[in-house]
Chains A and B, each alone.
Chain A
Amino acid sequence: MLYAFLCCHDEAVVNSWTKEEDDAVLAKRAKVTDKLAAQGKLGPALRLMPTTAATTVRMGRDPVVLDGPFAETKEALLGFYLIDCDSLEEAIETAKQIGRDEKVVFEIRPVKLYLPKREVS
């Protein structure tokens, strides 16, 4: 079974880390994920830009585009796409196409760091 691990953190706290602290957290995690990669168990991983870079598209008869992250608690996170778009405009348009005739909400968040699946050597 493939599992997705969604990392939730207090963003203000993470933003207040120094580079050294941030690096230390990543190095600590890498000890685990490197082993998983060696076993061929680690899929793609990524780090998102801060929520301030997010744009949310709420689908409906007239889709609404909002600044900031998805904030409602009624809806739950059920899946995600990783799509290469040339601009935010294109990303919003893509969301509208995918979510046509649904009541889905898309939070569009630029990816800061993308690590594709590592092949077992």
Chain B
Amino acid sequence: MTAVAWIDSVLQSARPQAVGALLRYFRDLDRAEEAFQEACLRALKNWPVNGPPRDPTAWLVLVGRNVGLDDVRRGKKSAPLPADDVISDLDDAEADVAERLDNSHYRDDVLRLLFICCHPDLPAVQQIALALRVVSGLTVKEIARAFLVSESAMEQRITRAKSRVAHADVPFETPGAAERGERLGAVAAMIYLLFNEGYSASGGEAHMRVPLCEEAIRLSRLLLTLFPGEPEIMGLTALVLFQHARAPARLDADGAIILLDDQDRNLWNRDMIAEGHALIEKAARHRRPGPYQVQAAIAGVHAHARRTEDTAWSEIDQLYAALERLQPSPVVTLNRAVAVSKAQGAAAALAMIEPLAAQLGAYFHFFGVKGGLLMQLGRAEEARVAFDQAIALARTPAEAAHIRLHLDRLMKDGQTPEKKISQDVGSPKARSSLV
């Protein structure tokens, strides 16, 4: 790795802590970002000459603060860089600031920074875009690409989101335990949304969205580093790892969705799966189950099965039952029905989902599952009707194409009961309405 590439990755990984700390100093998001930007420019000039500092994050915070204060004194935002002697003798100062910025400070700084992006007035997409810009430091161009919109449209969205949160009254005092818990919950939900945004892509655009999933994993790990004893954050991290582990097997060469049952499991990332298992095992010791942990456990059961037929469906059924208790929702019941169909047969599953029709009448997956179950029971005509309804509700061409595949099979051998169920059981999108 070249020196510049190394510095880039250090700057990227230091960003959440450094911008979070600078936000605490300046209490102004734009100023904190600008100060960090200036500090990065200086690092690119200084580090290759003087060698990297012992604590790069502390260095960036110190330099960013000095630059920012300088700007404040001059009363203008675009001041030139201060002379080198202003930030000389960095060794002592660095030790000083490092001491004051111990882990406990950083963690509330980073949490605050993430939490500001979760402002309840912001639509989900704006929350995510803002977090990617402010916390992860992605360029507007990169974010626009990931959301498949023009750069200027994304620029506008982020500017609007920023002006909204600028008026948000997020206290800068160290939060109490209850408040910290609330912030953690909101931030975890935002990170999961970010992951889903990347995961739900399909077709030609899919490869552009992988960075969103990777960023969600990085933020989730960061949160867990800062709050190592939170079982739900362990669950969240495990969940995104399990799901992302399947990414190489999820789409075929034409970009069509490959169902969990049909995926080449040799393509799954075993390192991520092992890490996910280690995390849910750690979380289980706390005996404080929560929705992320249970969802991670479900994904873990799928990941554990080397072949589809090895899947422990009754275990998945029980886990969905636990999720129904924690977070009752018709979508959870729908997912549970898929497990039930595998463990007990299609008739039991169909009986389970029929009462959901009123609530899920506009939900693509409901009709996909219903059609699949009817097909298994040999009720071809009813299955066709359900699949037609699913196609009408599909949100992506890949979803519609997938259901058409079932219809084609139905036309060809309508008499033969089909084994497949048209539901990507592992799709987080199917569950995203839960969080």
Q: Which residues of A contact B (CB under 8 A)?
A: 10-13, 15-17, 21, 24-25, 49-53, 55, 65-68, 87-89, 110, 112-113
Contact = CB atoms under 8 A, between A and B. Distances in A.
Nearest to B280: A88
A96 to B, nearest CB: 14
Contact of B229 (A10, A12, A24, A68): A68
Contacts of B13: 10, 12-13, 15-16
Tell me if B's interface is mostly helix, strand, loop or mixed: helix
Contact of B221 (A50, A110, A112): A50
Interface of B: 1, 5-6, 9-10, 12-14, 56, 218, 221-222, 224-225, 228-229, 234, 237, 271, 274-275, 278-279, 281-282, 285
B275 A112 contact: yes
B229 A52 contact: no
A108 to B, nearest CB: 10
B10 A49 contact: no
A15 B218 contact: yes
B389 to A, nearest CB: 41
Contacts, number: 66
A52 B1 contact: no
B278 A87 contact: no
Contacts of B5: 21
Contacts of B1: 21, 24-25
Contact of B224 (A12, A21, A52, A88): A52
Nearest to A109: B278
Contact of B274 (A24, A51, A88, A110): A110
A118 B6 CA distance: 31
B316 to A, nearest CB: 20
Given A49-B275, A68-B228, A13 B281 contact: no
B229 A110 contact: no
Contacts of A17: 9
B279 A53 contact: yes
B282 A53 contact: yes
Contacts of B234: 52, 67
Given A67-B282, A68-B228, A53 B222 contact: no
Contacts of B271: 112-113
B10 A52 contact: no
Nearest to B222: A12
B218 A16 contact: yes
B9 A88 contact: no
5 closest residue pairs by CB, A with B: A68-B228, A12-B13, A53-B278, A67-B229, A67-B228
